Amino acid sequence: MSLHMSIVAIEGNRLADFPAIWRRFQYEPSDKPMEGATWETATKRETPETKAVCYLDGWTVILDPELVMMTEDAACAALSAEMSARIVGVLSEGVSASYGFNVFSSGHQIRGFLAVDGDTVEDTGAPLPEEDGIDKQAVSEPDMLAVLAKFGVHYDRLEKCDEFVVWKLDYPEDDAPEPGDPMESTASVEKKPWWKF
């Protein structure tokens, strides 16, 4: 079974910066976070907006089953400047064969790559050493996990982590669609796409 996951990694221990980080991405916590969660609990999706965070090997890692945070270029760039930290986002979605990564530093996106069903739909910035060896014409899930590992975030270590903090999140009231709004079913798709063309 292929992954359906996006990971956003922020350099350094940023656990104390939540929920402010959520607000940067237009979320509001809807409940107290659950601490000390295992991988199984962290990856259980009650809603797409349920996200999990841990600190591992020098990175604050966000599991984003909604697949949108890494595409929020302005939020990632601003956060990288505010925190003086690199931010790495990786997408692996096997059903649509969508694989990509973004890297932000000092308030700018320095690299972006996304392939959907074998077609490159984004390729911005100069290639980085962390992506050496990837065949961009046949990019795959193992390639994305390899890129993540070269930055220092090892997926197999994430699977063994038992220190996740699980957050149930909502969109702020002014961003939520009105009940009965004919655009209700498409509002979040238009606001937060998980790929860019």
pLDDT at 20: 96
pLDDT at 149: 97
In which band, very low, low, confident or very high, does the pLDDT at 167 lie, cut at 50, 70 and 90? Answer: very high
In which band, very low, low, confident or very high, does the pLDDT at 193 lie, cut at 50, 70 and 90? Answer: very low
DSSP string, 8-35: EEEES--GGGTTHHHHHTT-EE-SPPEE
Task: Please write the tens of the pLDDT for every residue from 71-113.
Answer: 999 999 999 999 999 999 999 999 999 999 999 999 999 999 9
pLDDT at 75: 97
> Per-residue pLDDT averaged across 184-192, rounded?
39
pLDDT at 3: 81
pLDDT at 175: 56
Using CB atoms within 10 A of its CB, is residue 104 exposed (0-12), middle (13-18) or buried (19+)?
buried
Task: Please write the tens of the pLDDT for every residue from 136-147.
Answer: 989 999 999 999
In which band, very low, low, confident or very high, does the pLDDT at 185 lie, cut at 50, 70 and 90? Answer: very low
In which band, very low, low, confident or very high, does the pLDDT at 194 lie, cut at 50, 70 and 90? Answer: very low
Task: Please write the tens of the pLDDT for every residue from 16-74.
Answer: 999 999 999 999 999 899 999 999 999 987 787 899 999 999 999 999 999 999 999 99
* Lowest-confidence region among 6-15, 29-38, 185-194: 185-194
Peptide bond into 179 cis (omega under 30): no
d(CA 146, CA 51) in angstroms, rounded, equals 23
d(CA 123, CA 121) in angstroms, rounded, equals 7
The gap from C-alpha 93 to its chain's centroid, in whole angstroms, comes to 12
Domain layout of the chain by residue ranges: 4-191
